[in-house]
């Protein structure tokens, strides 16, 4: 048995996506830049995909630039806004402490190049407060970049309110919507989003494809030079199969979004209720304002990697924010940003269920997480100190 509960890491490509891309892996191998019919058919497929994707997020087809994925889109969006800001003498950027590293590392690079970065507090519930954005905007602010939904704790940000503030204050607004697109409604028009990043493999497309939405009139800086593709803004022969699969996957996700989300929310809440029964545990992130499939817990007295390995033995694929799973000494920057101390952050577990999850699977996960946590606590010196009163419980 395998229960895949790591959909925030990647999703299974849908049947629809695979079937849509198959012709372009075979007979329809033309280069969209070629003028003969074979090439022009690829071009048509590419433009149809652009139209389909634009429609889902309420954009114009011209406002969609295909990229290699979410990280590239994040990089290009931020560097473009910074470049424009630099030209206007504006070198201040506002973001949050729990962004994806594709955003944070790009901001670090800009800081070294003379930019000033303000990271908004995400508070204990993992949600930005619009009033604090309002207060942080300065005369020299050129960009606000806040993710639509967090990849670890699943908290959904008040994007519409943030977008409205940015519009009123005349500041560019970018959102990393990698975890949101295909899962919750995204409307770049109503939300006043200027730049948005998305990645196909997070919504049942295939890896290596994503897109950047860029509002008409916002200037882009190229990361990759060398051709006229994507209106000169992203060189390189387009990944036609991947792009066609992305559009098919997104159309499908959007068509079933409401029903899927409602069912997943109910399973998510069942999973949360079940895991809450484990003593000295805590849900990370707001319980209500979160993605339909995201569950993230901290269990005191244990370390996350052991938990993952035992769950893998029991057929459950999950992830953790512990240092050991990240290959660094520090646990997840997201958990630290919501105020979890190191000792507790090491014992985290992220379960992100998919659209096809069942009640039986959720109950199996609950049962097994309970058993494994108990097993690991059974020989944890930290747990012993906590239960014998030598140390004080945090959770």
For other proteins, the closer of residues 185 and 315 by Cβ is 315
Closer by beta carbon to other proteins, 72 or else 152: 152
Helices marked H in 61-100 — which ranges?
A: 70-87
Q: Is 383 in the site for other proteins (CB under 8 A)?
A: yes
Q: Which of 101, 168, 219, 342 binds other proteins (CB under 8 A)?
A: 342
Task: Determine the Cα–Cα distance for residues 360 and 267; give it in Å rounded to an integer.
Answer: 10
Instruction: Extract the tokens encoding 303.
Output: 């370390």
What minimum distance in Å lies between the beta carbon of 331 and other proteins? 7
Q: Please state at what angle helix 101-112 crosses helix 70-87, rounded to 10 degrees.
A: 30
Contacts with 218 (C-beta within 8 Å, 6 or more apart), sequence order? 80, 81, 84, 172, 194, 195
The CA distance from 356 to 55, in Å, is 25
**Cα–Cα distance between 390 and 365 in angstroms, integer?**
32
Our finding on whether 384 is near other proteins (CB under 8 A) is: yes
Beta bridge partners of 65: 212
Sign of the alpha-carbon torsion through 55, 57, 59, 64: negative
Minimum Å distance from CB 346 to other proteins? 4
Helix (H) / strand (E) containing 370: helix 359-377
**Phi and psi at residue 238, to the nearest 5°:** -65, 145
Q: Is 378 in the site for other proteins (CB under 8 A)?
A: yes
Q: Between 70 and 304, name the residue whose CB sits nearer to other proteins.
A: 304
Closest alpha carbon to 154 in 288, 252, 249 = 288
66 vs 383, beta carbon nearer other proteins = 383
Encoded tokens for 356: 């096809």
Nearer to other proteins, 13 or 321 (CB): 321
DSSP state of 155: B
| Nearest distance, CB of residue 354 and other proteins, angstroms | 24
Contact status: 305 vs other proteins (CB under 8 A): yes
Residue of 87, 227, 232, 381 that binds other proteins (CB under 8 A): 381
Distance in Å, CB of 388 to other proteins, minimum: 11
- Catalogue the active-site residues: 324
Give yes or no for residue 340 binding other proteins (CB under 8 A).
no
Query: Which of residues 262 and 309 has its CB atom nearest to other proteins in the complex?
Result: 309
Is 134 among the residues that bind other proteins (CB under 8 A)?
A: no
Out of 281, 306, 366, 369, point to the residue binding other proteins (CB under 8 A): 306
Query: Which residues, 315 to 334, sit near other proteins by CB under 8 A?
Result: 322-325, 327, 329, 331
- Looking up tokens 């007979």 gives 27
Q: Kindly write out the interface string for residues 264-303 of this chain, putting x where it contacts other proteins by CB under 8 A and - elsewhere.
A: -------------------------------------xxx
**In 3-state terms, the chain is what percent helix, strand and coil (to 5)?**
45, 15, 40
Interface with other proteins by CB under 8 A: which range of 38-46, 210-218, 340-348, 365-373?
340-348
Our finding on whether 379 is near other proteins (CB under 8 A) is: yes
Token pair 């890896």 is found at 207
Closest CB 322 distance from other proteins, rounded Å: 6
Which residues contribute to the site for other proteins (CB under 8 A)? 301-306, 309-310, 313, 322-325, 327, 329, 331, 342-343, 346, 378-384
């Amino acid at each position: 048995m395998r229960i895949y509960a790591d959909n925030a890491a990647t999703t299974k490509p849908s049947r629809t996506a695979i079937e849509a891309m198959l012709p372009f892996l075979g007979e329809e191998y033309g280069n969209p830049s070629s003028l003969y019919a074979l090439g022009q058919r690829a071009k048509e497929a590419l433009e149809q995909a652009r139209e389909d994707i634009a429609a889902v997020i309420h954009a114009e087809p011209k406002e969609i630039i295909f990229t290699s994925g979410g990280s590239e889109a994040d990089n290009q969006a931020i560097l473009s806004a910074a470049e424009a800001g630099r030209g206007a003498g504006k070198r201040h950027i506002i973001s949050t402490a729990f962004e994806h590293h594709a955003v944070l590392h790009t901001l670090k690079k800009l800081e070294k190049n003379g930019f000033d970065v303000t990271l908004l507090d995400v508070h204990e519930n993992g949600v930005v407060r619009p009033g604090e954005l309002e207060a942080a905007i300065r005369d020299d602010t050129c960009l606000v970049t806040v993710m639509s939904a967090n990849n670890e704790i699943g908290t959904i940000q008040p994007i519409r309110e943030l977008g409205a503030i940015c519009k009123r204050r005349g500041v560019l607004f970018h959102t990393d919507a990698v975890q949101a697109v295909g899962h919750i409604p995204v409307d770049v028009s109503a939300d006043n989003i200027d730049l948005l990043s998305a990645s196909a493999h997070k919504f049942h497309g295939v890896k290596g494809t994503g897109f950047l939405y860029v509002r008409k009139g916002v200037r882009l800086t190229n990361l990759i030079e060398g051709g006229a593709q994507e209106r000169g803004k992203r060189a390189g022969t387009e990944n036609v199969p991947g792009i066609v699969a992305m559009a098919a996957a997104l159309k499908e996700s959007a068509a079933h979004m409401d029903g899927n989300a409602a069912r997943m929310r109910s399973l998510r809440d069942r999973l949360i209720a079940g895991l809450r029964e484990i003593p000295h545990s805590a849900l990370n992130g707001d319980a209500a304002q979160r993605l339909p499939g995201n569950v993230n817990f901290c269990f005191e007295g244990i370390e996350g990697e052991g938990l993952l390995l035992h769950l893998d033995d029991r057929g459950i694929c999950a992830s953790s924010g512990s240092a050991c799973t990240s290959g660094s000494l520090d646990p997840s920057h997201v958990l630290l940003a919501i105020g979890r101390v190191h000792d507790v952050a090491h014992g985290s577990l992220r379960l992100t269920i998919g659209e096809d999850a069942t009640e039986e699977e959720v109950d199996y996960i609950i049962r097994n997480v309970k058993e494994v946590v108990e097993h690991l606590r059974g020989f944890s010196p930290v747990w012993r100190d906590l239960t014998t009163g030598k140390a004080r419980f945090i959770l």
